[in-house]
Amino acid sequence: MARVLVVEDDQFVRSALIRHLTDASHAVRSVGTALEALREVAQVGFDVVILDLGLPDLDGSEALKMLRGITDVPVIIATARDDEAEIVRLLNDGADDYLTKPFSVEHLSARMAAVLRRSRVSANGSEPPSRVMRVGGLTIDPLRRQAELDGVALDLTRREFDLLAFLAERPGVVVARKELLAEVWQQAYGDDQTIDVHLSWLRRKLGETAAKPRYLHTLRGVGVKLEPPL
């Protein structure tokens, strides 16, 4: 059972989510505005927040930034918007996952389960390997969750770091997208766009592009590998 906060102003959608989550034995609270959501999160401990973007008092993207200022509770964005630039911005601002409306209750359940597994592993104190990894000018310290490129610290989101560290453990090895979803996102299935968004953002921070890669190399239809530049 998880403690879930549903932030949704559409009463029909809100009621459906509450019914589904309650039937799945979760403890659910719901609000219809961003300010109510911030108040609830500040006063009540939740395991996950499902956040709509089209709120009446404040855009959900701004609410996400404010939530991240007071808590690290996992946030799943529920949105009718599918613009890639906005998805990138949301993930970079701290969203743990996103769903594009309309979505099935099965899809929501799978995404929630993956997010909750990751947060519970972290809460139980599981630590990544302490071995510092080096790939060319990249240095990745899993224990301290720090990464540097040519001696300069990289400002990575949690998921960007996880992706980079996973690939760094297998330098030169092509990792299939299905494996990345299973190991980094802990999802049995998902949208390749999720991986593409994170790869694109990570490439930018490594000073490269998909057309002119230095470290991250994509093999179309096969997967991704991390290797030092020649």
Could you tell me the residue range of the domain that residue 97 belongs to? 3-123
At residue 152, the pLDDT reads: 94
At residue 48, the pLDDT reads: 92
Query: Among 123, 149, 174, which residue terminates a domain?
Result: 123
* The two structure tokens encoding residue 134: 């080096």
Query: Among 123, 145, 169, which residue terminates a domain?
Result: 123
Decide: helix, strand or coil at residue 174: coil
* Cβ contacts of 27 within 8 Å, gap of 6 or more: 1, 2, 3, 4
Q: What is the CATH number of the domain that holds 42?
A: 3.40.50.2300
At residue 209, the pLDDT reads: 92
Backbone angles phi, psi at 172, to 5 degrees: 80, -5
Task: Give yes or no for a contact between 170 and 178, defined as CB atoms under 8 angstroms apart.
Answer: no
DSSP assignment, residue 45?
Answer: -
Tens digit of pLDDT per residue, the chain (230 long)? 788 999 999 999 899 999 999 988 888 999 999 999 999 988 888 889 999 988 999 888 888 988 888 888 889 998 887 777 888 788 878 888 888 888 887 788 878 887 887 666 555 554 444 578 999 999 998 877 889 999 999 998 888 898 999 999 888 999 988 888 888 877 766 667 788 888 999 999 999 999 999 999 998 878 999 999 87
- Determine, yes or no, domain membership for 138: yes
At residue 128, the pLDDT reads: 47
Beta-ladder partners of 153: 148
At residue 84, the pLDDT reads: 76
Same domain, 155 and 215: yes
- Determine, yes or no, domain membership for 128: no
Helix (H) or strand (E) holding 27: strand 27-31
Same domain, 99 and 151: no
CA-to-CA separations, 159 to 84, 91, 155, 186, 189, in angstroms, rounded: 17, 9, 12, 11, 17
Q: What is the CATH number of the domain that holds 213?
A: 1.10.10.10
Same domain, 113 and 178: no
Same domain, 140 and 77: no
